[in-house]
Amino acid sequence: MSTHTPPLKRESSDERKLAIAQAARELIIEKGFEGLRTRDIAERVGINIATLHYHVPTKNALIALVAETIRDQFSAQSARRPRTGLSPLVQLRMEFEDQRETLLETPDLIVLMTELIQRARRDAAVECVMRPLYDYWVGQFVEIYAAGRLDGTFRPDIDPVAAANITTGAVGDHWRQSDTSIALYDRIAAELERAFLNPVSSKD
């Protein structure tokens, strides 16, 4: 299946772990945590179950590993976009554009995120990884809305924390829907912008 070079062996430990995490991610997307089996992961990687356990001691550790890869991926993604100094409205639109891109290019990533957030409710190790990630995401919007209220871009009566939660909630919930259409996403993003803009401002 996976490895087309049967005699090839001795993959470095880091590469193996990465391959294991990747296979686990795919299987979580396909079957959810309910259907996640260590054997299936090993098979997809093309290794023995014992080999998998050599690299990742337990199933819980494996799930934590998956959570970490997600965090790293989002951290890297976040670091790639320095947008300090930009106006709040431009920042908001850039956030929406980023989400849109993710929705189009890696919709599976979002399914995976959802599964992990759900899992976090009962798995402290996953909670520790996902909670800061989610809080950071909401925090981004809090800052944007707070700055935009100050400079008159957004409504003077806006509640930045509530607005940020509405924004991430709406976007996140749209992801969860099975029919995630980009058209609806665009309408939601546009409506969010109208919802928070200052009606008496000329900044838009």
Check binding of 117 to a copy of itself (CB under 8 A).
Answer: yes
* Chain center to CA of 23: 17
Compute the distance between CA of residue 129 and CA of residue 190 in angstroms, rounded to an integer.
31
Residue 40: closest CA among 56, 25, 24: 24
Check binding of 39 to DNA (CB under 7 A).
Answer: yes
Per-residue binding letters, 17-46, with a copy of itself (x by CB under 8 A): --------------xxxxx-----------
Closer residue to DNA, CB minimum distance, 92 or 112: 112
Q: State the sign of the Cα–Cα–Cα–Cα dihedral 6, 12, 14, 17.
A: positive
Given 1, 50, 76, 79, the residue binding DNA (CB under 7 A): 50
Count how many Cα atoms sit within 13 Å of the Cα of residue 55 in the half-sphere of its side chain: 23
Check binding of 194 to a copy of itself (CB under 8 A).
Answer: yes
Given 11, 68, 143, 159, the residue binding a copy of itself (CB under 8 A): 159
Question: What are phi and psi for residue 169, nearest 5 degrees?
Answer: -65, -45
Closer residue to DNA, CB minimum distance, 66 or 189: 66
* Chain center to CA of 93: 18
Check binding of 46 to DNA (CB under 7 A).
Answer: yes
Closer residue to a copy of itself, CB minimum distance, 35 or 54: 35
Given 23, 36, 113, 126, the residue binding DNA (CB under 7 A): 36
Question: Which residue ranges make up the site for DNA (CB under 7 A)?
Answer: 7, 9-13, 16, 36-39, 46-51, 53-55, 57-60
Question: Which residue ranges make up the site for a copy of itself (CB under 8 A)?
Answer: 31-35, 111, 114-115, 117-122, 127, 155, 157-159, 161-163, 165-166, 168-174, 176, 178, 184, 187-188, 190-192, 194-196, 199-200
